[in-house]
Structure 1
């Protein structure tokens, strides 16, 4: 079992009142939590990296809980989520994929058995690299009002031998969503799709 070395953690929360249209009755909150860790595989090719996912599980739960707490602590109020990773230049894109299971399942567990897959993105880049983390509804991937993204990044990360691991949660869809389609209150199959 490899030790997960965290250099820093960042949490940011946005309160969205409008996007150019009328001010909404309900403020939409969305937040991101980022953990910057040392990449144990930086600078070399390692065939069997999958065991590190298990090592990341406690960090996933901690980051998910920290983000939920920053958003007020009510798991039932969270409607959207996403995840991502920025891998430093001495790593490879596959190292970012290590976050899929520990980040996604931790967030789903903290929120209480959500149905939809947690959308994800990843890239390789240096300090200050920005990442657009995709967001969908937590229980049905086809809810158009919740198709969104949150841009994240860290001014001094990831360094070449680091990975920035990201989780995003929202407490609503886009503030002025009006393109039709399935709405959150119309979800009925509870299979993660419709």
Structure 2
């Protein structure tokens, strides 16, 4: 199995106090962690790529831990999450799909067994490309107030032989959420949906 070679990690956090409405005393925090790694399959077709998912698991846990720390260190305040990948031009979209399992399960484990599926996006692109990481509530995908996205990118990544792996988390709903639907306090927690 190939080694996971990390070129750089980027952690960023936004604190949102308002978006034109009432100012919140405590901001909603929206954070992301991005890892630029070598793509061991760039430039060639490899039939069996699944073993690399196992290799990515420690990186997933490291990234999730860094992100929780950046959001204040308390995993219990995380209410939303998402993940994604950008594959450099020498790779293929399927290489980004290898992040589904290690990225998603790392966050779910660190957050105490979150129930909802971790939404995801992926694309192929070059240095500086941006990607929207979809966000949903960690325990119920139907909580409309937490439908969101965080746009991320790195000016010098991914190069042709690299991938950018992304995890994102939030500490609350959209800052002025008022579109109705299932409320976070009404989650049953049985199926990851409601």
TM-score, normalization: structure 1? 0.99
Q: Could you tell me which runs of 5 or more consecutive residues in structure 2 were left unpaired when the two chains were aligned.
A: none
User: In structure 1, the residue corresponding to 2:166 is in which secondary structure?
Assistant: strand
1:65 match:
65
1:31 match:
31
| 1:25 positional shift | 3.1
How many pairs align?
194
1:16 match:
16
Deviation string for 1:120-153 (max 9, x for gaps)? Answer: 0000000000000000000000000000000000
Distance 2:97 2:171 in 1: 26
Write out aligned runs for 1:37-56 (5 A).
37-56=37-56
Instruction: Tell me, yes or no, if the aligned pair for 2:133 and 2:151 is still in contact at 8 Å.
Output: yes
1:77 match:
77
Write out aligned runs for 1:1-194 (5 A).
1-194=1-194
User: In structure 1, the residue corresponding to 2:53 is in which secondary structure?
Assistant: helix
Deviation string for 1:43-68 (max 9, x for gaps)? Answer: 00000000000000000000000000
The worse-fitting range, judged by mean Cα deviation, of 140-149 and 17-26 is 17-26
User: In structure 2, the residue corresponding to 1:105 is in which secondary structure?
Assistant: helix
Q: Could you tell me which runs of 5 or more consecutive residues in structure 1 were left unpaired when the two chains were aligned.
A: none
Distance 1:193 1:25 in 2: 30
Distance 1:138 1:77 in 2: 11
| 1:19 positional shift | 0.9
TM-score, normalization: structure 2? 0.99
Consecutive aligned runs of 4 or more in structure 1 exceeding 4 Å deviation? none
User: In structure 2, the residue corresponding to 1:7 is in which secondary structure?
Assistant: strand
Change (3 A) 1:189 1:62: closer
| 1:2 positional shift | 1.7
Instruction: Tell me, yes or no, if the aligned pair for 2:80 and 2:136 is still in contact at 8 Å.
Output: yes
**CA-atom RMSD in angstroms:** 0.7
Instruction: Tell me, yes or no, if the aligned pair for 2:33 and 2:67 is still in contact at 8 Å.
Output: yes
User: In structure 2, the residue corresponding to 1:181 is in which secondary structure?
Assistant: coil
Instruction: Tell me, yes or no, if the aligned pair for 2:115 and 2:189 is still in contact at 8 Å.
Output: no
User: In structure 2, the residue corresponding to 1:158 is in which secondary structure?
Assistant: coil
| 1:103 positional shift | 0.4
